[in-house]
Structure 1
């Protein structure tokens, strides 16, 4: 009888223990590091960066292109133009001489053109004084002969012509139609050599038999050169500084 009671008690205890134990596999563990939220992600409301140190605005590169060109142009604009207007091309100029010089054209060919001396300009340059005889037309067709002499003498009459300076460089311009009057012909007014170094003045002599005398008074006989230029037409006389 006692054995049955003990057996029944043991059976009751074993049954109670089985009911208090958890059943395996009924709970799902949460993975470590993963979000358990099921709500959709919300868009960010943060404003874009306005940091002035980002992008092209912070470039420290020096100005390029037109900016540097403008600076160069400004420098050019400060250059001073020749006030006398006697700056001429200097390439392929003839050699300096101190003897008689004559151009290669024939006076008979030039007279048919009807070209005239219309004005006189003088200018100071680095190593020489310049005298420009402006001509009518685009192409210089008048001839010339140049030489030094002790004093100026008028063609035809032989009368002396007063010219300031210790010597005279005579340039006789050939081929002018001296038998007719011209409205554009220079009136012969003397041009002073104020501001020049060696040329004292430019004096017009007579127009005789197609030749116009032009006297350059000089302080000293130095080498010179004479040449013609076109567009517009002109005769250029350069006299070297002593």
Structure 2
């Protein structure tokens, strides 16, 4: 059963299901300024899993159209009584989305980028799968966050075509941000 999380645009935002409204998605800047866009076919490690347990609990999933790119934001809170550390980020292009048991899950778009988020922990009572439609359908068709066992989660982004992208994390609250260039 899929739960729909909040969808927002740069002109307004909706409250997240578990937390107070935070910064509008387009107003989020990376800690080190704007991260460089990676080539459309990049696969591999983007951010190394830092010290500490990780213990990041899913809070919300949003998408937005920003100036020159579309953005997907996954917001997390810290697991109570655990030392939070930076999550690890790994990117890979896949042919389909499957559950941990191997069951296929439909996702709009002909290209699928999966961003593995190492250090994300299961949030009890949230249903495990959270989805949001792409804000314009160019390049994002749909995004889903899948809570998984073993201390990781997967952000699956269905695209109409591969696009240059960047992924980074920000604090207060802790978010994983993924941007995709809008084709010209």
The normalised TM-score by structure 1 is 0.56
For the structure 1 residues 115 and 204, does the alpha-carbon distance in structure 2 shift closer, same or farther, using more than 3 Å as the test?
closer
Report if the CA contact (8 A) 1:148-1:221 is conserved: no
Match of residue 68, structure 2, among 127, 130, 144: 127
Give the match for residue 94 of structure 1: 35
Choose between structure 1 and 2: higher strand proportion. Answer: 2
Match of residue 11, structure 2, among 74, 82, 107: 82
Match of residue 148, structure 1, among 81, 90, 93: 93
Give the match for residue 161 of structure 1: 105
Report if the CA contact (8 A) 2:107-2:142 is conserved: yes
**SS of the residue aligned with 2:120?**
coil
Aligned counterparts of 2:49 and 2:128: Cα–Cα separation in 1: 25
- Select the structure of larger CA radius of gyration: 1
Give the match for residue 116 of structure 1: 57
Alpha-carbon shift at residue 186 of structure 1 (Å): 7.4
Task: Give 5+ residue unaligned stretches, structure 1.
Answer: 1-80
Match of residue 136, structure 2, among 192, 195, 198: 195
Aligned counterparts of 1:104 and 1:193: Cα–Cα separation in 2: 25
**SS of the residue aligned with 1:235?**
strand
The normalised TM-score by structure 2 is 0.72
**SS of the residue aligned with 1:190?**
strand
Report if the CA contact (8 A) 1:115-1:141 is conserved: no
Aligned counterparts of 1:93 and 1:158: Cα–Cα separation in 2: 37
**SS of the residue aligned with 1:197?**
coil
Alpha-carbon shift at residue 96 of structure 1 (Å): 1.3
Choose between structure 1 and 2: higher helix proportion. Answer: 1
Aligned counterparts of 1:205 and 1:175: Cα–Cα separation in 2: 13
**SS of the residue aligned with 2:129?**
coil
For the structure 1 residues 149 and 101, does the alpha-carbon distance in structure 2 shift closer, same or farther, using more than 3 Å as the test?
same
Deviations 1:189-218 (A, max 9, x none): 321114352111112335032221221110
For the structure 1 residues 221 and 140, does the alpha-carbon distance in structure 2 shift closer, same or farther, using more than 3 Å as the test?
farther
Structural RMSD (CA): 2.7
For the structure 1 residues 186 and 86, does the alpha-carbon distance in structure 2 shift closer, same or farther, using more than 3 Å as the test?
farther
Alpha-carbon shift at residue 187 of structure 1 (Å): 4.9
Match of residue 159, structure 2, among 218, 223, 236: 218
